[in-house]
Amino acid sequence: MVQSGLRREISPNILKTFLLIFVGMAFLNSIIFGIAEYRYSKKLILRDFKYIASSANRALADTIWRSDKVEMSEIVDGLLKNYNISAIKVTNYETKYVETFKVKSGRQDSISHSSDLIFKYDNKNVKVATLQIYTDSTAIFYRAKKTLALLLLKTVIETLTIFILLFWAFKKLFIDYLSEIEKIIESRKYLPVDVETNNSLPILERAFRDVLNNMFLLIFKYSEDKTEEREKKEDKKEIEVEDEVVQEVDEAKITLQRILDFVNPTQEFMDRFLKESFVYSQPVKDGGGDVYLFSEIEKNRELLLLLVDYGNVEGLSAVEMSIILKEIEKDLMVKHSLNNRLFALSKIVEFMDKKIRSRFAENGLKALDEAEFKGVALYYDKINNTFEYSAKGVVILKKDIMGKFSTYDDYGLYSDRTMQHQAVGESRREHKIDMAEGDSLYIVTDGIFRQVKRDKAKEEIGKKGFMEILTRISQESFKSQSNSFDQEFTTIKGDKPQVDNVTVIGFQV
């Protein structure tokens, strides 16, 4: 009676429960491992992209530096022959101009690997562009399809085999167990007080179902633990990758600083010409800022300062500006060696403007006409103790030994004339600065004048506000004045955004 009831009533319920739980867990486990395999294939493709980007770095950087669109197109087409690559994008680092962006037909640019294109200039690394190599789900599935197919086949075979064996075993054991209970009940040797013959089978069915549920909970927990362990390992690897990226960024900053140190003068160089000196520079953003260059025309005798301020115009980094100044310096040295004299200072200022504008044009800067050049060429003859300069948009302040300030701008000594508009042709002339022992000079770009004050809507620091700052700070030693300018500027600016690059160069002869 019990066995026939089991086959008729209990067996279909147990079969349904067992089938749903086991098959569901088996395929859930397959999905989890399938996702893990997909992510692993994606990681392998991106790792391959890293090697591809490294191999193509030199060739692409060279084409960008030379603005060779044809050769760049050929290199990109060659890379796109790789099935895993669905698209390639090259973006100029400074101008953000997209040099090229090609996507395969029918593919997507959904997943990318980004790397910097570095050009070696004068044994220094210069970041010229960003290379992005894309892949998509099609490439990832193509790479992982064999593994996923084998995983699915393995799951189906294991599910059928284990299901047949376990179900047959559990069914046989359960029938034998109920047969023994039937014999006991029929012989009246044992009968539980709270169990009647009529409801013993449903109770036993629930008990057996509880056993199955507990067993599958253990299986599920084991699978869950394995998944968590795998995720922890992947998170650890991602952290290591992030650390590598941070390290690369730090190395890029170090490289940038080395390049700037290369073009800027050393303290030993400054001490040969100047008694005391400092430079305070605060760019609006990393990689930008006003650029200056001290150049020794004749050893221990003639010194030339070139300063360029192009405001917030996008297109050239401080590194590229510095390289341009080095090129200008070489041209001036050639001129000096041939004629034993420099260009006129006003011509040098014009030459700097034209040289930099031509580089802007090469980089495709559309707002070039709106870019206003500001700069100064300051010449110092140490033997005769004479200063000459030509400027545009840069102010020079002289402090004498009595603490009195004199202002020099584009048109010469401001205090000795009435301010008036000058013709364009007269905007860049040469002027002398009379210096005596103990006098100090301060070369200032207009970024600090234009800065809006804290807690003010539009009020700027202006020249008057800067003179108040300079009067306080100039009482200190030159070594501490740079830090003092930084503290004053930070305090006055407050939480207002910085509007322009700020540079103050001070020295005593």
pLDDT at 312: 55
Q: Where are the beta strands (DSSP E) in 310-393?
A: 374-381, 386-392
Q: Where are the domains of the chain?
A: 2-39+152-257, 44-138, 266-508
* DSSP code at position 195: -
Reading phi first (left if > 0) and then psi (alpha if -120 to 50, else beta), residue 494 is in left
* CA–CA gap between residue 249 and residue 322 (Å, rounded): 21
Q: Which two tokens stand for residue 282?
A: 């605060």
The answer to whether residues 473 and 488 touch, using CB atoms and an 8 Å cutoff, is: yes
Q: Does domain 44-138 have CATH number 3.40.50?
A: no
* E strand or H helix at 402: none
Backbone φ/ψ region at 434: left (φ over 0), alpha (ψ -120 to 50), beta: beta
Residue 412 has a pLDDT of 87
Q: Which two tokens stand for residue 346?
A: 């006003």
The 3-class secondary structure across 386-401, one letter per residue, is EEEEEEECEEEEEECC
Rounded-to-integer distance, Cα 413 and Cα 204, Å? 108
Cα 309 from Cα 503, distance rounded (Å): 9
Distance, in Å, from the CA atom of 190 to the CA atom of 185, rounded to the nearest integer, reads 6
CB atoms within 10 A of CB 170: 16
Asked whether the beta carbons of 305 and 292 are under 8 A apart, the reply is yes
Q: And the tokens for 49?
A: 């992209």
So what's the pLDDT on residue 48? 84
Q: Is the dihedral of CA 192, 197, 202, 205 positive or negative?
A: positive
Tens of pLDDT, residue by residue over 343-392, are 788 888 888 888 887 777 766 655 455 667 889 999 998 888 889 999 99
Beta bridge partner(s), residue 9: none
Say which residue the tokens 């086949």 belong to.
153
Tell me the torsion sign for CA atoms 461, 464, 465, 469.
positive
Three-state secondary structure call for residue 73: helix
d(CA 155, CA 24): 11
Q: What is the identity of the amino acid at 44? A: L
- Predicted pLDDT at 252: 43
Buried residues in 245-261 as b, exposed as e (16+ CB within 10 A): eeeeeeeeeebbeebee
Q: Is 218 helix (H, G, I), strand (E, B) or coil?
A: helix
Q: What is the pLDDT of residue 395?
A: 93
CA distance 263 to 295: 10
Which of 298, 350, 288 has its CA nearest to residue 322? 288
Please tell me what DSSP assigns to residue 424: G
Q: Give the CATH superfamily of 266-508.
A: PPM-type phosphatase domain (3.60.40.10)
Give the count of beta carbons closer than 10 Å to the beta carbon of residue 20: 10
In eight-state DSSP terms, residue 197 is G
- Tally Cβ neighbours within 10 Å of residue 113: 18
Give the residues across from 126 on adjacent strands.
Answer: 119
Splitting the chain (509 residues) into consecutive groups of 10 residues, what average pLDDT does each group show? 47 64 74 81 85 83 84 86 89 84 87 86 81 87 78 76 68 64 54 45 59 56 58 60 51 50 66 85 76 82 86 65 80 76 82 80 59 86 88 92 90 66 52 89 92 87 92 89 90 88 89
What per-residue confidence (pLDDT) applies to 166?
63
Helix axes 200-263, 137-187, angle to 10 degrees: 160
Q: Which residues, listed in sequence order, are joined to residue 508 by a DSSP beta bridge? A: 276, 440
Residue 223: per-residue pLDDT: 53
What value, to the nearest 5°, has the Cα angle with vertex 325 and ends 323 and 328? 115
pLDDT at 75 (0 to 100): 86
Burial class (CB in 10 A: 0-12, 13-18, 19+), 167: middle
Bridge-based pairing state of the strands 111-121 and 87-92: unpaired
pLDDT of residue 187: 55
**Minimal CA–CA distance to 132: which of 195, 202, 189, 79?**
79
The two structure tokens encoding residue 359: 């580089």
For residue 115, give the nearest of 74, 42, 61 by alpha carbon: 61
Distances (CA, A) of 415 to 405, 428, 456: 10, 19, 30
Distance separating alpha carbons of residues 368 and 391, to the nearest angstrom: 20
* CA 57 from centre of chain: 18
Predicted pLDDT at 214: 59
The residue type at 411: Y
User: What pLDDT score was predicted for residue 259?
Assistant: 53
